[in-house]
Amino acid sequence: MEATQIKTRTKELNSPEIVYNIVRCQSFCRGWFVRRKNIYGISKKFKNLQSTFTATVNGYHMINKTPIKESVWEEVNCDIVRSVCSITDEANGNHASGKDNRFDNINVSNKSTKTDGNNVSISSYRLSSVCNDKNNGNPQEILNEIEKRDKSFEYYSILIRNETKNNAKIQYAWYIIPKNYYIFKIDKLTPKIGQKGKKKDEVVGWKSKYCDITFSMSSQLWHKFNIGCIEKYKVCSTEIDNSKSKINYSQIFHSFSDTI
C-alpha cells in the first residue's frame, strides 16, 4: 500500500504541469539573480542620481576646500545613493582590504584618485605578506592572494577628480565598474627590475600591463590605465568652484542647532 502511494505521488510530481511550473520558477530565480547585480541596471539607477551627486559634492565643498578622497568618499558615496539603496556594512573609514560598503545586494570597494593627464593610478592592497624586499615572492601566490581579497566585493565605486592649479576648479566623475573588468584582471606578473642605485638589476617588484607592485612602497598593488578605458562606466560628473569662501562649523551650528 505504502509503495503504491509513493509511486502515485512520484507520478503527480512528474506531471507536465508541475514540471513546467518548476522550470518557470527556476528561470525566474536565475533571472532575478542576474538582474540584481547587472551592471546596466546598476548604472541606470545611479545615472538618475546626477542632481543628487552634484548637490552632495557642492554641499561638501561649501565647507571643505580639501578634495573628496579616501574615507571621505566612502561617506559621501553613501549620502549620494541613500535615497535609492539600502546601505549596510559601512566601512566608516576602516581601511580593511576589499569591501567598503554594501548598496542593496551589491558589495562595493570605494576608490578615489586624481588624473595625471589622461592617466589614472588607483591604489589597492598591500601585499608585503607575500612579496617584499627580503622575499620577492612567487607570482602565482601573489595572484592567489589578490584573488582571495577580491572575493569580498563585486564592483568598484571610483571617484576621479581633475584638479586645476591651486584647486580653484575641481572636476569630479563617478564610475561604477565590475571588478572583473579587464583592466583589473591580472593573469600574469613579470619581475620589475631596478634601473639605478643600490637596486640596479635586482628585482624591485612585479608588474603587468595594467598594474604595478613596488617593494619599497609597502608592496602596494596599483592599477594603472588610461581614463578612456573606463569612460563607458561613468555614471555622474560635476565641476565645482573651489575658490568660493567656505562656511565654517560655527556658522553651521548657529544656523541649524535649533532645528536638529
At 148-172, the pLDDT tens digits run 999 999 999 999 999 988 889 999 9
Integer angstrom CA distances of residue 249 from 71, 148, 255 = 20, 42, 10
Tally of residues, the chain: 260
Q: Which pLDDT belongs to residue 30? A: 41
Q: Which pLDDT belongs to residue 64? A: 96
User: In sequence order, what E strands does the chain have?
Assistant: 87-88, 101-103, 106-114, 119-126, 155-163, 169-178, 190-193, 203-208, 211-214, 220-226, 234-241
Query: What are the sequence ranges of the domains in the chain?
Result: 1-36, 37-242
Q: Are 159 and 77 in contact (CB under 8 A)?
A: yes
Report, as ranges of residue numbers, the positions in the chain whose pLDDT lies below 70: 1-37, 91-97, 260
Q: Which pLDDT belongs to residue 114? A: 96
Of 69, 76, 119, which is closest to residue 101 (Cα–Cα)?
76
Q: Which pLDDT belongs to residue 21? A: 63
Q: Which pLDDT belongs to residue 9? A: 54
Q: Which residues pair with 155 in a beta bridge?
A: 108, 178
Q: Which pLDDT belongs to residue 3? A: 52
